[in-house]
Amino acid sequence: MITVEQFLAWKILPRCMMLASTVMSWRCAEWFMELDVPTASQSAFVSVVMGVMTGVFGIWMGHEHKGEK
């Protein structure tokens, strides 16, 4: 039988959240690339999403690095 501590050690929720964030940002990039003539506001939106994902990935890697060995 699996214990709560073992289940939490797998870090399923944070990994699912990172996967969901990655998929959503990828879909945003696909949407932008499919636009015929993107406007400035659409370009700004995609820039913000990609910038946020850079920060999210950096935080994610920082937490992965500090994890238990």
- With respect to residue 4, please indicate whether it lies within any of the assigned structural domains: no
- With respect to residue 29, please indicate whether it lies within any of the assigned structural domains: yes
Helix residue ranges per DSSP H, 1-69: 4-9, 12-34, 40-65
- With respect to residue 3, please indicate whether it lies within any of the assigned structural domains: no
- For residue 69, pLDDT beyond 60: no
CA distance 42 to 54: 19
- With respect to residue 53, please indicate whether it lies within any of the assigned structural domains: yes
- With respect to residue 55, please indicate whether it lies within any of the assigned structural domains: yes
- With respect to residue 6, please indicate whether it lies within any of the assigned structural domains: no
Domain span at residue 53 reads: 12-65
- With respect to residue 30, please indicate whether it lies within any of the assigned structural domains: yes
- With respect to residue 41, please indicate whether it lies within any of the assigned structural domains: yes
pLDDT tens profile 3-56: 888 888 888 888 899 999 999 999 999 999 999 999 999 999 999 999 999 998
Reported as half-sphere exposure (CB side, CA atoms, 13 A), residue 13 has a value of: 3
pTM check: above 0.75: no
